[in-house]
Structure 1
Amino acid sequence: MSDRVLISAGELRGLLDAGDPPLVLDVRWALGDPHGREHYRAGHVPGAVFADLDTELAAAPTGQGGRHPLPDIADLQAAARRWGLRAGTPVVVYDDLGNTAAARAWWLLRWAGVADVRLLDGALGAWRAAGFPLESGEDVAEPGDIGLVPGHLPVLDADEAAGLAEQGVLLDARAAERYRGETEPVDPRAGHIPGAVSAPTGDNLAADGTFRPARELRARFAALGADGGTPVGVYCGSGVTAAHQIVALTLAGVDAALFPGSWSAWSADPDRPAVLGEHPR
């Protein structure tokens, strides 16, 4: 696996200008906004290919699997080949929301064995802030030949997530008010998994939308009990922003497993308990 997790806008511009560019994926998605492809067509990093989170980076929703189950590896491979991904090609992913959606593509591709996948630090906002050009319309890549093999990053099912909350550290990456159960705009029940610790994804980022320095992230997660000395798992609403948390943990030097079904799967099972309030239990 590549040791590099992030790439700056200037570094990406240099690679694009050098004539041997990485595959760039635009993962424009936000909860409640179905117009990601239209946003992409209106303006994207030159040469970027659109990756659809709902249909390419996830399987169809199920009660047991949640709102964004992991895609079947054959389906993910077919999508990656449509994007033009070839064996050995580096990949850069971004969105327009602090990389909270793009991190899903970062995690999935690494889980599937693609070694060199990086996030555009600061997302599309950093590209704009640098004054670099945008391209409109839609880029269609020549089909790739990548072969994907799952299992390169750890995952948890619901029972394993419950056990980790007891024997390790289970981080809830949703907004604090959803963790506390004060609001639940999407999923069947409000609250959090017993024993889970609130760790909102937004706290991973600096004011300009880039990731906070590694030393700050290490301190943040250590204060939550995730200092690398005990197993760590992460969940969110449907396994999307939890991937962003895993990026931040990786930058902090802490390995973590993803619970893909997350709260959407947990809360759909009436036999799974839910805790309300700011305390883990």
Structure 2
Amino acid sequence: MKKTFIVILSLIMAIFTFVGCSSVNNKDVANKEEIINNTEEVYTKVDTEKVQEALKDNSWVIVDTRLNDAFNGWKLDGVKRGGRIPGAVDFSANWLKVENEDKEAILDEALETKGITKDKNVVLYDANKKDAEEVANYLKEKGYSNLYIYDVNEWANDESLEMVKYENYQSIVPASIVKDILDGNKPESFENAKNIKIVEASWGEEKTSYANGHIPTSFHIDTDSVEPPPAWMLADDATLTKFAIDNGFTKEDTVIVTGEEQMAAYRVATVLKYIGVQDVRVLNGGTTAWTMAGYDLETESNKPVAVEDFGAVIPVNPNVIDTIEELKVNLQSPDKNTFVDNRTWKEFIGEESGYTYYDKKGRIPGAVFGRAGITDSLSLDYYRNIDQTMRNASEFIGFWEEQGIDTNKHLAFMCGSGWRAAEIYTYAEVVGLKDIALYSDGWIGWSTDESNPTETGEPTK
């Protein structure tokens, strides 16, 4: 009897232990699932057919969340074809990583401009299975609810589906492509490049910017060497020839220009195109793009190796630059030419000169306001994303159209002294505009000669 009681008691205790443990385990699983649901969002994935339907429905918006270099046309993250889905807008996951005190205001403006609103069904696509989800999480925190994920590889792998890219997307280069070159490879669009040189352009001596960190192997170019002080206008042909020879440039080279301040890089790149270097490109996003990609800068000073001859008479491509004489002639034919003033509004209407070292204010009669930045002569808000890459061209071209700037005409871009306009000139080239030039001397070059007419105030319509 005692034995029977002990056996029964043991069975009861075993059952109690099993049930108790099961109850605890189930509770632990429930808690684990709750934690997962609180930290990892799950979004509905859509297929290609659904994306095609969405492109025809105004209640949907298709968003490319990749690096803007991929949106422009580069084949990144292993995609079979470069470019974007026709009709897609851009909102890169990379923008979320930027440290900027005005970040939320800038991103809110981007969402509004691109039509990514809370009432829309939003399809976010990527190629690496993480960018789209990062943007989706960000949007969900802002109150967006109808969010969907799409793998753009499905679209890229179907040759029957169109992908669009900027005609000259390769003119502005992703950091990963530069890194690939430094690793000894010949990536997309560099297959036939002979002499690839990387240079860092900035104003002043090496200690001003270059010494703080630059792309490995790059050597420094002081912008004063192409626009000598105190006028800081484009140097004459003899000076530019010496500049080319001293820095080891030949017409056969492929040159990638980088810089902490991109305007300096674009200024030097435009001069290299003008003198005749056959393949000139710029790191899209400059040094910021390099460090955001996780690559290290170097501080070792690299020196160029001089050459005996550039290989051609400079300038090989004079049409890159409109001289002041050409500008005056073109202003007489507004039916064929548009003079685009890329300064701030206050500079354009003559409230500010834009420069601490120059006090004359106003604009050139006949110029059309083409925007640049909001704050000062070093801002290009209307042409750059928050991570300093080139902005979606449909946005700045849309503004040009509002201002009556016809891209079928000859467009001459200007600013105060050529830096901002050089960057915008390059972006116009990236898009594929052909009949374009840089009025290099800008407002300072024009207004220095008091015989040239100027005006102030808001233009009459």
Task: Tell me the distance in 2 between the aligned counterparts of 1:35 and 1:85.
Answer: 20
Residue 238 of structure 2 is aligned with which of 70, 74, 77? 74
Structure 1 residue 83, shift from structure 2 partner: 2.6
The separation in 2 between residues aligned to 1:243 and 1:129, in whole angstroms, is 24
Take 1:269 and 1:81, find their aligned partners in 2: how far apart are those partners?
A: 32
CA contact (8 A) 1:217 1:248 kept: no
Per-residue Cα deviation, 1:127-181 (whole angstroms, up to 9, x for no partner): 1111111111311132235335204142333343244345121111222211121
Identity, % of aligned positions: 28
- Once the two structures are superposed, residues 75-125 of structure 1 have per-residue CA deviations (whole angstroms, 9 ceiling, x without a partner) of 32332333333452210002212x211111111111111111001000111
Paired residue for 1:41, among 211, 215, 225? 211
Q: Is the 8 A contact 2:215 2:258 kept in 1?
A: no
Is 2:387 the counterpart of 1:205? Answer: no
Report SS of the residue matched to 1:233: strand
Could you list the per-position Cα deviations for residues 48-79 of structure 1 after superposition, in whole angstroms to 9, with x for gaps in the alignment?
1100101x112444xxxxx3222233332332
Structure of higher CA gyration radius: 2
CA contact (8 A) 1:95 1:123 kept: yes
What is the correspondence of 1:179-258 to structure 2 with a 5 Å cutoff? 179-184=348-353, 185=355, 186-201=357-372, 202=380, 203-254=382-433, 255-258=435-438
Cα-to-partner distance string for 1:171-218 (whole Å, 9 max, x where unaligned): 112222111211123335201001211223312111211011333343
Tell me how far 1:227 sits from its aligned partner. 3.4
Alpha-carbon separation, structure 2, partners of 1:260 and 1:250: 16
2:93 match:
none
SS of alignment partner, residue 109 of structure 1: helix
Q: Could you tell me whether the CA contact under 8 Å between 1:178 and 1:190 is conserved in 2? A: yes
Contact 2:342/2:413 (CA < 8 Å) preserved in 1? yes
TM normalised by structure 1 equals 0.86
Instruction: Kindly tell me the number of residue pairs found equivalent between the two proteins.
Output: 269
* One-letter code aligned to 2:173: I
Q: Is the 8 A contact 1:179 1:191 kept in 2?
A: yes
Please tell me the root mean square deviation across aligned C-alpha atoms, in Å. 2.4
**By how many angstroms is 1:39 displaced?**
1.6
Q: Where does the alignment leave 5 or more consecutive residues of structure 2 unmatched? A: 1-166, 187-194, 373-379
Structure with more helix by fraction: 2
- Preserved CA contact (<8 Å) 2:338 2:406: no
Could you tell me whether the CA contact under 8 Å between 1:188 and 1:268 is conserved in 2? no
TM-score relative to the length of structure 2: 0.54
Which residues of structure 1 form unaligned runs of 5+? 62-66
Displacement after TM superposition at 1:36 (Å): 5.6
Q: Where do residues 65-214 of structure 1 align in structure 2 (5 Å cutoff)?
A: 67-97=231-261, 99-144=262-307, 145-148=309-312, 149-154=314-319, 155-166=321-332, 167=334, 168-184=337-353, 185=355, 186-201=357-372, 202=380, 203-214=382-393
Structure 2 Cα separation of the partners of residues 208 and 225 of structure 1? 29
